[in-house]
Amino acid sequence: MAAEAETSELPKIVAEPPRVPPASPIKRSRIGDLPMRVIYRILAGTAAVTVAAVAALVGFLSSGSTDSSDRPGGEPPGQIAAPSAAAPSSGPSSPPPSAAASSAASPTASPTAGTPAPGPTPTPDGSAVTAALADPRLPGPPADRKLGRLPGKASAAKRRIKDEKSGVSLARLGKPWKSHGASPFSTKQVLPPVKGAGHRAMLVSCPVPILVQATAKDTALLAARWTLNHHPEGAEIKWTASQPVEDGWLLAYRVTYKVKGKSRSSMAAVTVIETDRAKKPALVFVTIPDAQRGRWRDITTALSSVRSL
């Protein structure tokens, strides 16, 4: 044990270095110390205040530059309101307000200045007739000429048909004529169909389906052109008669066309009658193909029988 004590090393004594006080931390900006969310709120608030200030300034400037006519009772600068043409003068001839009001309310009061006075319905200017005469299917205006004697034998006509819608009556032709579904006409009579004729013979009445013209003759011309709708396609008119009748006008004409390349024709006529029972004149239209020329005399019988109700 003594030997071990002699050979053991003595513990080293190490002197501790003097303690140096820690350096004071570098001072940072206060902004850097703030959390980012606080900085965002400050920036957002500043932007909102700036936008509000700009909007208020723009509104103030625009309101100051607005034309005075935008305000109630304001007038545009440099303009003077013209007085109303209908305003009464301030002289002694001007009626009192109550009289003016009653005059305006009365249906017989004269119209004020600047208001067109009601007048009769204007008559057509003839443009429809001009257009019709330009149609190559018409040879031009018909010359006045009485309807001559047509071939064939007249059918018996002991009874009459009343057309209340058109305001006329006409003969009910005997056999082989018979009444038929009238639509789109008011009344309709027909002959038995003939093969190859191109269309069926018919006698119809209705209010004129075209624009009423200034004269019955012009109205009849437009009506005759309209009847081509009831003939084969490509049909053309050749006038044979144009004459006045009681309260109207009569036009007779030959209609030529082709059926399967073969030339065919029909004899046709229209009469336009003014009546007191309808707003428009009455139209009576009859057409008979050449395959039944033995019935052409019925055209004269039918048209001469037309009477106002």
pLDDT value at residue 125: 76
Answer whether residue 164 is part of any domain. Answer: yes
- Cis amide linkage into residue 176, ω under 30° from 0: yes
The domain in which residue 168 lies consists of 160-308
What pLDDT, on a 0 to 100 scale, did the predictor assign at position 93?
Answer: 42
pLDDT attached to residue 102 = 40
In degrees and rounded to multiples of 5, residue 152 shows phi and psi of 105, -175
Q: CA–CA separation, 115 vs 134, rounded Å? A: 38
The pLDDT of residue 78:
39
Residue 218 near residue 126, CB atoms below 8 Å: yes
On the CB side of 45, CA atoms within 13 Å amount to: 6
Say what the pLDDT of residue 51 is: 65
Q: Establish if 202 belongs to a structural domain.
A: yes
| 19 located within any domain | no
Q: In this structure, is residue 102 part of a structural domain?
A: no
Residue type, position 262, single letter: K
Report residue 130 CA to chain centroid gap.
24
139 within domain boundaries: no
Token duo for residue 285: 């239209």
For residue 234, what pLDDT is reported?
95
**pTM of the predicted model as reported, rounded to 2 decimal places:** 0.61
Supply 209's token pair: 């389906």
| 232 domain residue, yes or no | yes
220 within some domain: yes
67 located within any domain:
no
pLDDT value at position 39? 64
Give the whole-angstrom CA distance, residue 298 versus residue 292: 11
Query: Long-range contacts: 286-289, Cβ < 8 Å, 24+?
Result: 286/202, 286/203, 286/204, 287/199, 287/201, 287/202, 287/227, 287/230, 287/231, 287/255, 288/191, 288/201, 289/194, 289/197, 289/198, 289/199, 289/200, 289/201, 289/264, 289/265
| CATH number of residue 209's parent domain | 3.40.1000.10
Q: What is the pLDDT along the chain (309 residues), one digit of tens a residue?
A: 444 444 445 555 555 555 555 544 444 445 555 566 656 677 766 666 676 666 666 555 554 444 444 343 444 433 333 333 333 333 334 444 444 334 333 333 333 334 333 333 445 778 999 999 999 999 999 999 999 999 999 999 889 999 999 999 999 999 999 999 999 999 999 999 999 999 999 999 999 999 999 999 999 999 999 999 999 999 999 999 999 999 999 999 999 999 999 999 999 999 999 998 888 999 999 999 999 999 999 999 999 999 998
Helix or strand or coil: residue 47? helix
Q: How many domains does the chain have?
A: 1
